[in-house]
Amino acid sequence: MTEPSHIRILVADDHPMMREGIVGLLGRQSDMSVVGEARDGREAIDLFERLRPDLTLMDIQMPELTGLEAIRQIRALDPQAAIVVLTTYPGDALAVQALQAGASGYLLKNCIRRDLLTTVRNVVAGRRVIAPEVAQQIAIYSAGDRLTEREIAILKAISEGRANKEIARRLHVSVDTVKADMKRIFSKLDVTDRTRAVIVAIQRGSLHI
């Protein structure tokens, strides 16, 4: 990848104040300019196709179409597209999915002021940049026990307010099996209650509701 002398950036985030802060920060750099702002994943794809920016900053959780799916579709349009994920959570499953989809960087929103400019320049130069906190979670995720499809189904049912008996009927297993699965879920997610299990699974990108 040839590094451009002036970096044209597309910012995709559904929070207006976040976009405003990012645009303001980038706008003060002599080698960068924001060429477009998207409020959701669909708009991000449309603007990318029309503007062909040097780099896209992509919020991973947006309405209409998730940032993850937007990354996949943008990379289908341009396999060389440079995309940096912006997210609130370190993730693990979600980070792996984003990188597999073609993201070149993964940056936590609370590190934007400190790391965004360096990340943009490095990614445009062809380097992959992953926040240290995210890299650590990816390592833990890769080395540890991942949630099974049934465990994810149980968590989804819990997020809908289902009791163990109803979950057992839905999954065609016994209540004792559901209880045993819950113990394994708690162990894998390092939690002690159902509500926290759902929250952590969402944060890690294992559960989508």
Cα-based distances in Å from 67 to 9, 38, 45, 83, 85: 16, 11, 10, 10, 8
Residues 48/10, Cβ–Cβ less than 8 Å: yes
Q: Indicate the pTM of the whole model.
A: 0.68
- What was the pLDDT predicted at 41? 94
31, amino acid identity? D
Residue 7: strand pairing partners: 32
Query: At 88, is the pLDDT very low, low, confident or very high (cuts 50, 70, 90)?
Result: confident
Residue-level length of the chain: 209
The overall average pLDDT reported for the chain is 88
Residue whose entry in the numeric block shows the structure tokens 């879920």:
185
44, amino acid identity? A
Query: At 72, is the pLDDT very low, low, confident or very high (cuts 50, 70, 90)?
Result: very high
d(CA 55, CA 123): 8
d(CA 33, CA 36): 9
Show the domains of the chain with their CATH numbers. Answer: 7-141 (3.40.50.2300), 149-203 (1.10.10.10)
- In this prediction, residues 96-118 reach a mean pLDDT of 87
- What was the pLDDT predicted at 2? 55
Q: pLDDT at residue 141 above 90?
A: no
Query: At 90, is the pLDDT very low, low, confident or very high (cuts 50, 70, 90)?
Result: low
Q: Which of 19-28, 101-110, 150-159 has the lowest mean pLDDT?
A: 101-110
- In this prediction, residues 86-98 reach a mean pLDDT of 75
d(CA 11, CA 66): 14
Q: pLDDT at residue 107 above 80?
A: yes
Residue 38: strand pairing partners: 12
d(CA 26, CA 30): 9
Residue whose entry in the numeric block shows the structure tokens 């989809």:
101
